[in-house]
A and B are shown apart, each in its own frame.
Chain A
């Protein structure tokens, strides 16, 4: 044994791995962290100043003016890398690897075959991962109780003309897909992945007052939640208020409503209400907050290519991410949490935050939400993420100005009047032909990002976007940016060649199972990222963006 070096042992294991059905390279049960700062994303280490002392600001995407009850108004974090001591060293070392050789070794056909093979459904149409979790493998049973205490996939990705997911018998799973403006930077397909987001409200929200399932009641409740999260009135199809006994449009009568009027100021007697059983049972309601029990399902996928339509979602999932609001946190709770975090950061700037959870139940973000994910094992099958891999979710879903009750995109959902009134899956209608979104203060959001960041991704590694949108001096070509007002995919979709390259680069990380060192699909070592920071180092950004 002594003659075997660690590397030969590893390659031996790698070779053997294909013989086994489940993952061997990662111990799902492991709770010991390699990177204690794994809740600080790789993007946060970006060098904001380039070699010419020009300053780039991708930070405002997340660190931005917040909206109550998100009291983490952190736009000032654009100005400095305010990291605890242990996080000063960038442990996302995958960014600095040269994967040219490995990427070149994968042919286009090979990668296309791979990403087109579905790893969510089995060949018999069964939900592979769900089946596995129901017959829990020992190596995934974190607490030894022989059952999986976390989420068991139950979405069929079979959407009707209203975005509802239907099971094999045509029944409702409760999941509903919606179209939304993709979040800035990382989540644009040109930077690595395609993805979708689904929402589901708890059972009480899907039932009428008598306790019977009623899809109309569910639709109204989802619209009410949309108004609460967007904190604005939203248009709807005609709703007979008499059926629900709620004055939804706040015209003073129970009439036919075409709007959910946002009018929430309980201290001045202005209340809102859910409908159906949720109303009868008195589920808690507040502006900017989801009902307790709300779930989100977020599949992150490879980029498939289609000679006719260009870019589309691949069948193969890179990850399946799940979040559930398990506790109600009041405005006061939210405020207290922020105050506590600020005081802790002030008194003990070098202490790292601890988040509670594991692979099975997911990790709590302290604000009532629990997040967990499934990720490909070395055979491409979905497996539970480890505690450390789950912490990666918390990096973004905890304390950021851009969040609304810990979520990113329901507030960015397409409005009533758009395709299927905004209730559709990307497989029903893609992003082509949709104009870029506006910031809350009316600016073109994607154009602002390009202008401030001088690139289309946090690492400024996406040459394709840089070439397309910037001149040799790094100045944004407005002629190109203006095209985004007609079609955002001009920016956010990669070329077919780039799509293939990104898929290959990520596949190498899957083969290595090295997610804890970063999941960014890069080929060459990145140049614009700090390997090590000084305490409270300035980003050089002097004029932070605020809305």
Chain B
């Protein structure tokens, strides 16, 4: 695995980069796609960052921080040629002559192209592949007993989490597998905004960034999609070959996979499985999974915009606290932008941390019959196996957090407020009882690696501040899930 310096990581994360761009850094040379000409152009992250700064400085006033247009039109994805023609007079923008130099226009165009890669709907071959991926995502025939699809544990009506609460013995902390009894390893995370996580990579200080699953063991969405089919606690198919065979039972799938990945796609099982997972990943890269239309995003629109949302006083307080490094440090891990920058905010730096989460004893007992097992997170991965990283899990995005309970990698907390109080407790500021049990918080699952240097800097949270933070987290809910808010 090629390593990367921290400064380039920062640049990279500041972009809110998708995994497509990350693949360049990851130096993954094997491209299993036989038809790859429609992949988006991969931009140099440093140029993107420079372009973004110039864009915010010169363009955002009229075209909006998301470039979708305010008084000026949407300029997402415009080319350098378009910009120079506009400034030369075609779009009546001659007043920008001499202000934005040609070299700067180039950089702005690179940023706008990157913005298109992240936010624009998929097009061409990708659009078609995503359409096939969508069908596969919802197909229960691809599990052993034909009872589970991807959507069973990632329900689109509930921000793509496992919402089978009434039939789940542990309140959704762990998902029930295809046999109706086996419980999975960890709390199924939302697929919303998962596409924003960069492909997994290791920094030169040995820490890790990006990837999918709580421990990042899947490099990207495609690798992630390969997991659950053959996981013996999830869809329980005996082999990848058996998944391909199930897919081939549907003649329409055969037809479409051949059309989208080449006539000979079924000659090689690995390639076929790769194509199946690849198309699901494309579906997860569609705008369905990243609408950026929460009240928070809408609050970033200018006040005269028809969709503008004006935060309440309480939400404003929460917003300020969230981004205030002298108060909460929330944004240190749960943000890659400053509070004033554009709306393409991931609410995660996709790094790995141990915040001392206690075991979920009920879930462990229900699953294993005992509570002995310790989840070492990324540090327990066979390929990492490093005690320095024991107990560390990927920082989740906070988009839709209010509607995606339970919380933490093991689903130990049921309420969002509990999580905020838990942080206050870990900072040593009080809140010594778990409000869900009225008992003292249980000991951390892994003690040695807890990131106290950050946790301890959190200033005490009054009830008012906790309420404010919760209100702010509520407005990170996408428009379509607002009805799920309590």
Contact = CB atoms under 8 A, between A and B. Distances in A.
A336 to B, nearest CB: 11
Given A31-B38, A143-B35, A364-B256, A356 B251 contact: no
Nearest to A358: B259
B34 A327 contact: no
A355 B254 CA distance: 15
Contact of A356 (B35, B132, B262, B263): B132
A326 interface: yes
Contacts of B130: 354
A366 B252 contact: yes
Contacts of A256: none
Interface in B116-142: 123-125, 127-128, 130-132
B256 A356 contact: yes
B255 interface: yes
B221 interface: no
A370 B173 CA distance: 46
Interface of B is mostly: helix
Given A364-B256, A364-B259, A356 B124 contact: no
A144 B131 CA distance: 23
Given A32-B124, A33-B123, A364-B255, A354 B35 contact: no
Contact of A328 (B38, B131, B251, B258): B251
Interface residues of B, number: 23
Interface string B1-45: 000000000000000000000000000000000110110000000
B102 to A, nearest CB: 11
B378 interface: no
Contacts of A356: 128, 131-132, 255-256, 259-260
A143 B251 contact: no
Contacts of A144: 35
Contacts of A357: 128, 259
A361 interface: yes
A20 B444 CA distance: 74
A290 to B, nearest CB: 15
Contact of B255 (A29, A149, A327): A327
A368 B250 CA distance: 11
A143 B262 contact: yes
A6 to B, nearest CB: 9
Contacts of B128: 31, 354-357
Interface string A184-198: 000000000000000
A29 B251 CA distance: 26
B466 to A, nearest CB: 37
Contact of B251 (A2, A30, A33, A327): A327
B131 A354 contact: yes
Interface string B244-275: 00000001101110111011000000000000
B275 to A, nearest CB: 13
Nearest to B35: A143
Contacts of A361: 258-259
Nearest to B127: A354
A423 to B, nearest CB: 31
Contacts of A366: 252
Interface in A343-357: 354-357
B293 to A, nearest CB: 14
Interface in A19-71: 29-33
Nearest to A333: B252
Contacts of A29: 37
Interface residues of A, number: 23
B225 to A, nearest CB: 19
A356 B252 CA distance: 10
A32 B40 CA distance: 12
A327 B34 CA distance: 24
A32 B123 contact: yes
Interface in A285-333: 326-328
Q: Which of B124, B254, B259 is packed against the most chain A CB atoms within 10 Å?
A: B259
Contacts of B260: 356
A299 B417 CA distance: 68
Q: Which of B123, B127, B130, B256 is packed against the most chain A CB atoms within 10 Å?
A: B127
A31 B37 CA distance: 10
A175 to B, nearest CB: 24
Interface string A360-390: 0100101010100000000000000000000
B283 to A, nearest CB: 11
Contacts of A143: 34-35, 262-263
B124 A31 contact: yes
Contacts of A326: 255
A30 B262 CA distance: 17
B453 to A, nearest CB: 47
Contacts of B262: 143, 145
A531 B236 CA distance: 53
Nearest to A348: B288
Contacts of B258: 361
A328 B263 CA distance: 19
Nearest to B131: A354
A32 B128 CA distance: 11
Contacts of A358: 125, 259
Nearest to B84: A2
B284 to A, nearest CB: 15
Contacts of A354: 127-128, 130-131
A30 B123 CA distance: 11
A123 to B, nearest CB: 34
Nearest to A353: B131
B75 to A, nearest CB: 18
A370 B35 CA distance: 20
Contacts of B259: 356-358, 361, 364
A33 B38 CA distance: 13
B38 A149 contact: no
A149 B263 CA distance: 8
Interface in B73-127: 88, 123-125, 127
A31 B258 CA distance: 16
A193 B290 CA distance: 46
A320 to B, nearest CB: 21
Nearest to A30: B124
Contacts of B131: 354, 356
B252 A327 contact: yes
Interface string A146-161: 0001000000000000
A60 B125 CA distance: 35
Contacts of B255: 326-327, 356, 364, 370
B120 to A, nearest CB: 11
Nearest to A354: B131
Contacts of B132: 356
A357 B129 CA distance: 10
A288 to B, nearest CB: 19
A358 B37 CA distance: 13
Contacts of A328: 251
B288 to A, nearest CB: 9
Nearest to B254: A327
Nearest to A326: B255
Nearest to B121: A36
Given A354-B131, A358-B259, A31 B125 contact: yes
Nearest to A31: B124
B342 to A, nearest CB: 25
Contacts of A355: 128
21 contacts: A31-B38, A31-B124, A31-B125, A31-B128, A33-B124, A33-B127, A143-B34, A326-B255, A327-B254, A328-B251, A354-B130, A355-B128, A356-B259, A356-B260, A357-B128, A358-B125, A358-B259, A361-B258, A364-B259, A368-B252, A370-B255
Interface of B: 34-35, 37-38, 88, 123-125, 127-128, 130-132, 251-252, 254-256, 258-260, 262-263
Name the 4 nearest CB pairs between A and B, nearest first: A31-B124, A354-B131, A327-B251, A356-B128
Given A33-B127, A358-B125, A370-B255, 14 more contacts: A2-B88, A30-B124, A143-B35, A143-B262, A327-B251, A327-B254, A328-B251, A354-B130, A354-B131, A355-B128, A356-B256, A361-B259, A364-B259, A368-B251
